[in-house]
Amino acid sequence: MQSLSTDITDSKAAKKGSSAPLKVVTHDQFCMEKVPDPCGIVIFGASGDLTHRKLLPGLYHLFKAKLLPKDFFILGFARSPLTDTTFREEILAKLKTKGETDSPVQKEFLNHIYYRSGQYNDPGAFRTLDGILKEFGEKHGTKGKLLFHIATPPDVYQDVISGLKHAEIIKRTKETDVIIEKPFGHDFDSAVQLNRSLHEALNEKQIYRIDHYLGKETVQNIMMFRFANSIFEPLWNRAHIDHIQITAAETLGVEHRAGYYEKSGNLRDMFQNHMFQLLALIAMEPPLLFDEHHYREEKVKVAKSIRPIPAGKIHDFVVRGQHGRGKWNGREVPAYRQEEGVDPKSQTETFVAMKLFIDNWRWEGVPFYLRSGKRLGHQATEIAVQFKQVPHSMFPFLHSDQFSPNVLTFRIQPDEGISLCFEAKHPGPKFCMATLGLEFNYKDVFHEPSMDAYERLLLDAMQGDPTLFVRQDMIDLSWEFVTSILKEWEKSQPAKFPNYEAGSWGPPEAHQLIEKDGRKWEIL
């Protein structure tokens, strides 16, 4: 057992008014990470970007923190013909770009890493793989326990699953678990088909569908904030909350991912997964227990309660956009259609805003405004919970609509933290008022960096804990909703693309979507 906690048990150490926590719970059972049992990790798509950017650096950090078992190996598998040596060199180079310097720990880590190439649709490659895994299992003492991470392009997911199944590498036992990356399907039907293929080989308990947002420290904190405090939950409903906004704004464009993004677009890329997960966490009922069953069950109930968009009314609820040229940070940035690999007449959306309702006792009538896009004004992923206006002003000269409503904001990234706006008296004349903020900022309070989302999720999968992974029914429900929008969109081309400038806050219709309800976006 390794402790990750900072050992501050003395609450006197925390001074009033300082940014130190007043108390840190350090009971072993809460703050200690369990080191997983011996395990072999096999990454499919090992020559790809995700493996180099996230998976291997994440595994290295876990190794450095002594959170990988003593007995383990990592085998990268992909189509590109690399050797163990070239693969290890690539990893070293990547770690260097992340500020990791050469060290004996790095050398030791690399001794556990191998690479094999093969075609995903070649049954022979999987038979060979079976032999290799047995050999490495013996050599590294991993006792047959294997974790497969499918991080290939999505069009070969099925090949990998069927290769593993037919070579009898994966079986219906907890000895062989599979992590599967997003995108999980392209629409409702393909997601159902992918789930079917997985279930032909595995039990649901062995399947870890990843959504990296769920591993983010600030996203995990939504549960802690809502259900480890007593003062917010009584207000968390239609009687006190006017509306909720969820924004995931990126300043980056499509980068080098046009091949994928052209077929995906923002709705599939961000809403079916990350945005709906945030929505579920902010809207869910308190689970009986924070465990794989109850927590995921409550999220599914939210997804089931999302009101379907009435046929023919899509424009009243959903806005799509594609960015043109513009300026960001003082420099010219190209239009989406000018990016490498993008069709100059592309109809792919890089922005979506929508208004949703959740039809249940708690949320009836409360609008949820969601928006996400590339090349927006600045980077911000935030959830703003806006409470209702005061019903009446008792102060002469001040009308009740001059009071700013209280807003509780979860800043998921960057500048991670939570703030609460409230009204207070401004010093001076009797009826002078100001809007102030209570601020909690992760960096000021917790000086150690949080564990990266992928590290959290890889560790959880190795420990056999699927709580922060997505269950099949949640995938089905979110695709069902997204597919209904896609079908409506197919009926007509968007009026005019591009329809927002890079560096702006999306098309004018996205502003109208909320302004016609007498509200405005919190971030502009």
Catalytic residues: 274
Q: Which of 165, 263, 264 is nearest to 207 (CA)?
A: 165
User: Of 381 and 409, which CB lies nearer to ligand BG6 in the complex structure?
Assistant: 381
Residues 6+ apart with CB under 8 A from 406: 386, 387, 420, 421, 422, 423
Among 177, 250, 339, 349, binds ligand BG6 (CB under 6 A): 250
Q: How far is the CB of 261 from ligand BG6 (least distance, A)?
A: 7
Q: How far is the CB of 278 from ligand BG6 (least distance, A)?
A: 11
User: Which residue in this structure is represented by tokens 């209702």?
Assistant: 388
Distance CA 474, CA 452 (A): 24
Mark residues 463-502: x for contact with ligand BG6 by CB under 6 A, - for none: ----------------------------------------
Q: How far is the CB of 103 from ligand BG6 (least distance, A)?
A: 28
* 214 CB neighbour count, 10 Å cutoff: 23
User: Of 42 and 267, which CB lies nearer to ligand BG6 in the complex structure?
Assistant: 267
User: Of 185 and 405, which CB lies nearer to ligand BG6 in the complex structure?
Assistant: 185
Contact indicator for 334, 346 with CB cutoff of 8 Å: no
Mark residues 213-232: x for contact with ligand BG6 by CB under 6 A, - for none: --------------------
Q: Which of 70, 188, 167 is nearest to 122 (CA)?
A: 167
Q: Which of 456, 476, 478, 475 is nearest to 466 (CA)?
A: 456
Q: Which of 465, 461, 466 is nearest to 59 (CA)?
A: 461
Among 51, 220, 381, 483, binds ligand BG6 (CB under 6 A): 381
Tokens of 469: 């992974």
Q: Which residue lies nearest ligand BG6, judged by its C-beta?
A: 269
Q: Which of 386, 406, 403 is nearest to 241 (CA)?
A: 386
Which residues in 157-186 contact ligand BG6 (CB under 6 A)? 182
Distances 422 to 387, 404, 408, 501 between C-alpha atoms, Å: 10, 8, 9, 34
User: Of 116 and 371, which CB lies nearer to ligand BG6 in the complex structure?
Assistant: 371
User: Of 133 and 248, which CB lies nearer to ligand BG6 in the complex structure?
Assistant: 248
Number of residues that bind ligand BG6 (CB under 6 A): 4
Distance CA 474, CA 184 (A): 11
Q: How far is the CB of 110 from ligand BG6 (least distance, A)?
A: 27
Q: How far is the CB of 381 from ligand BG6 (least distance, A)?
A: 6
Contact indicator for 346, 262 with CB cutoff of 8 Å: yes
User: Of 55 and 309, which CB lies nearer to ligand BG6 in the complex structure?
Assistant: 55
User: Of 148 and 271, which CB lies nearer to ligand BG6 in the complex structure?
Assistant: 271
Q: How far is the CB of 268 from ligand BG6 (least distance, A)?
A: 9
Q: Does 269 bind ligand BG6 (CB under 6 A)?
A: yes
Distance CA 364, CA 237 (A): 9
* Residue 11, Cβ density class (10 Å: 0-12 exposed, 13-18 middle, ≥19 buried): exposed
Report which DSSP code applies to 306. B
Q: How far is the CB of 182 from ligand BG6 (least distance, A)?
A: 6
Q: Contact positions toward ligand BG6, by CB under 6 A?
A: 182, 250, 269, 381
